[in-house]
Amino acid sequence: MRDSITARLLDRAAREPDRVAVHLLRSAARSSFRDEPVTMREWIHGAGTCAAALARSGLRRGDRVLLCVPTGRAFLEGFLGACMIGAVPVPLPSLDGFARPTAFVNRLTSVVRDAAPSAVFADRRTAAHLRRSGLLDPTLPLIEPRSLERADAPEGQPARGDEPNLIQYTSGSTGTPRGVVITADNLAANVDAMGKALQLNADDRVVSWLPMYHDMGLIGGLLAPVVHGATCWILSPLEFMLRPASWMQAVSDTRATLTVAPNFAYGLVARKVVDEDLRGLDLSALRAAINGAEPVDPGIAEAFSRRLAPMGLRASSYFPVYGLAECTLSVAFPPLGRGVKLDHVRREDLASGRAVPMEPGPGSMAVVSVGPAIDGHEVSIVSVTPDHTPLSDRQVGQIWVRGPSVSPWYFEKHHAQRERRTSLRTGDVGYLADGELYVVDRLKDLVIVAGRSYSPSDIERAAEQVEGVRVGRSVAFGVADADLGTESLVVLAEVQPRSPEELVALAESVRETVAEQVGLSPKDVCLLKPGSLARTSSGKLMRRDARERYLGGGLAGAEALRPKLPVRLVDAARGVLFRFMARRRASED
């Protein structure tokens, strides 16, 4: 049994009560921030007040409490306060994170029903909306942080060992959000492994804008750094979304040594931030720009490093990682200071399940290494067939993980699913080479045509190379095709409004570019108005939602174009060829 993260935070507060652990940043002007420092003493005292309020509401050890407050002091104190009395915090978005209240209710509906909370900790605006929505049982205690009076923390025993420490609901990018139970030992093991991989220490300064209800924001941007003695500067997600340059400005102003964000954020900075907002920045102190939570695009990595090199950013600081909520957060980290390592493989062979190296050029695909498994953990590749046969180096299959960070179960409605996991079947596809992991895509998202598997991320990157397609705003998926007897490829892409003639030409360019680069011609290319594609609360595009809306006609209101008849004829001809090849392979077997 490891010392819990809660115990370590309390210990740090006892040793360094006046040490500033967190700086909460808010924009005061276009080029400056208002800084609210929070010392360890202040954090613990505020958490004690929240713990007392939660206890008075009847919350007991092991009970679940929903945390629906924006990034800020209230979240810090509410989260730790729940942990101090052994309750189980369930971090969720607040109303501030949604443009429409209906989207907020839709996001929380399944979670509230599943989590069966004993209390809700929410800011005033969110609390008022929750009451009006009818989402909560009227008898459920609803605690507003601003209404609390100073109180000492009650006696309590934080979670330890195999006891649940928090429940992290998945983003829902591949379906209904599921509650991942993170035990005290899971959390401690992952924080320890991250600390070792990143060599976290008291001299580190970490900048994050990620939401606290996201595991990467909560654990990677807050808990792991603070436990290892570092200091955190935290921007609200809204600050970043309104002005992406504020992230790099904060890194420069604080002389940050580490920062953390998903792939799309690096793309925004590389391609959308204007030169004026980057002028005068100094990023030379940054030793790790951590990129995770979604597939790492090698093109974005190169563009980000090149764009910010004049500001002192070292290419060696780019740090692509792999993780998921079911392993607490982190699974694989590369060596520090190496930068991006690419494996150029033959696309044609990758579709058949083999990662065959080749020189960069036509027919090749660059896959980013996310390094070896973190300390104390093991990554293996197994076949996607029911027998789950272990695969050797450079064979493509499903990624499995073993180790102390692996969540034992999902939380199910009104009871915990106690069938304990020993190996985590991630649902992601990749391969190992020389001890390092290369992630290709989500297993459920693969487009399978005539027995060959195509990565939707690879297809989307190809589509987004076409001028006019919004970067990070396309999805690719397969749909059953009775004519072909296999799946056909569909590409949806957001574009700015333009004339019908231009849209026709743009759709054709997308089709041709995808066919040329990936070797698969889309049967359908839909060009959509900006904002048509749904995202999760953490910014991930929802491929499954897009596919369901496409099949159900839910995209009819957006501008959509389909390829002309000749493309369908070509696809039909290819279908005949696919069936012929399949029969030939069967006869050879």
Choose the final residue of a domain: 259, 286, 316.
259
**Contact (CB, 8 A) for 436 and 369:** yes
Across the beta sheet with 205-208, what order do the strands follow?
A: 32-39, 20-29, 231-235, 205-208, 258-261, 288-291, 318-320
Joined together, the tokens standing for residue 228 give: 């290892």
In a domain, 415, yes or no: yes
User: Residue 163 belongs to what domain range?
Assistant: 5-259
Choose the final residue of a domain: 389, 408, 443.
443
To the nearest 10 degrees (0 to 180), the angle between helices 456-463 and 500-518 is 130
Joined together, the tokens standing for residue 75 give: 């979240």
Joined together, the tokens standing for residue 211 give: 């939401």
In a domain, 314, yes or no: no
Q: Residue 365 is which amino acid?
A: M
Q: Closest Cα to residue 30, out of 253, 248, 245?
A: 245
Tell me: do 480 and 427 sit in the same domain: no
Tell me: do 462 and 379 sit in the same domain: no
Kindly list the distances between the CA atom of residue 141 and the CA atoms of 50, 57, 111, 433, 527, in Å, as whole numbers in the listed order: 13, 6, 17, 52, 47
Pairing of strands 322-323, 318-320: unpaired
Over residues 340-355, the pLDDT tens digits come to 999 999 988 988 899 9
Q: How many CB atoms lie within 10 A of CB 15?
A: 10
Pairing of strands 469-481, 486-495: antiparallel
Tell me: do 358 and 506 sit in the same domain: no
In a domain, 308, yes or no: no
Tell me: do 421 and 480 sit in the same domain: no
Tell me: do 47 and 177 sit in the same domain: yes
In a domain, 506, yes or no: yes
Across 327-402, the runs of DSSP E, i.e. the strands, are: 330-332, 342-346, 364-368, 378-382, 397-402
Tell me: do 128 and 211 sit in the same domain: yes
Tell me: do 207 and 124 sit in the same domain: yes
CATH number assigned to the domain comprising residue 457? 3.30.300.30
In a domain, 337, yes or no: no
Q: How far is residue 396's CA from residue 454's CA, in Å, rounded to a whole number?
A: 12
pLDDT of residue 503: 86
Choose the final residue of a domain: 402, 420, 443.
443
pLDDT of residue 172: 59
CATH number assigned to the domain comprising residue 377? 2.30.38.10
pLDDT of residue 290: 98
Tell me: do 484 and 526 sit in the same domain: yes
Q: How far is residue 116's CA from residue 124's CA, in Å, rounded to a whole number?
A: 21
Alpha helices in 67-178 (DSSP H): 73-84, 101-115, 124-133
Tell me: do 61 and 210 sit in the same domain: yes
In a domain, 315, yes or no: no
Q: How far is residue 221's CA from residue 211's CA, in Å, rounded to a whole number?
A: 9
Kindly list the distances between the CA atom of residue 482 and the CA atoms of 487, 530, 562, in Å, as whole numbers in the listed order: 8, 31, 18
What residues contact residue 275 under an 8 Å CB cut-off, 6+ apart? none
Q: How far is residue 394's CA from residue 397's CA, in Å, rounded to a whole number?
A: 9
Tell me: do 484 and 457 sit in the same domain: yes
pLDDT of residue 418: 56
Joined together, the tokens standing for residue 37 give: 């420092």
- Total domains present in the chain: 3
Residue 131, classed as helix, strand or coil, is helix
Tell me: do 113 and 176 sit in the same domain: yes
Q: How many CB atoms lie within 10 A of CB 306?
A: 12
pLDDT of residue 333: 98
In a domain, 287, yes or no: no
Q: Tell me how long the chain is.
A: 589
pLDDT of residue 211: 92
What residue ranges of the chain have pLDDT lower than 70? 1, 28-31, 99, 171-175, 413-420, 450-451, 482-485, 536-540, 556-589
Tell me: do 87 and 194 sit in the same domain: yes
Q: What backbone torsions phi and psi does residue 584 show, to the nearest 5 degrees? A: -65, -45
DSSP calls for 386-411: TT--B--TTB-EEEEEESTTS---EE
pLDDT of residue 107: 77
Q: How far is residue 541's CA from residue 539's CA, in Å, rounded to a whole number?
A: 7
Cβ-count burial of 123 within 10 angstroms (0-12 exposed, 13-18 middle, 19+ buried)? buried
CATH number assigned to the domain comprising residue 240? 3.40.50.12780
Sign of CA dihedral 245, 97, 546, 429: positive
**Contact (CB, 8 A) for 367 and 345:** yes
Q: What is the longest distance spanned by two Cα atoms in the chain?
A: 78
In a domain, 264, yes or no: no
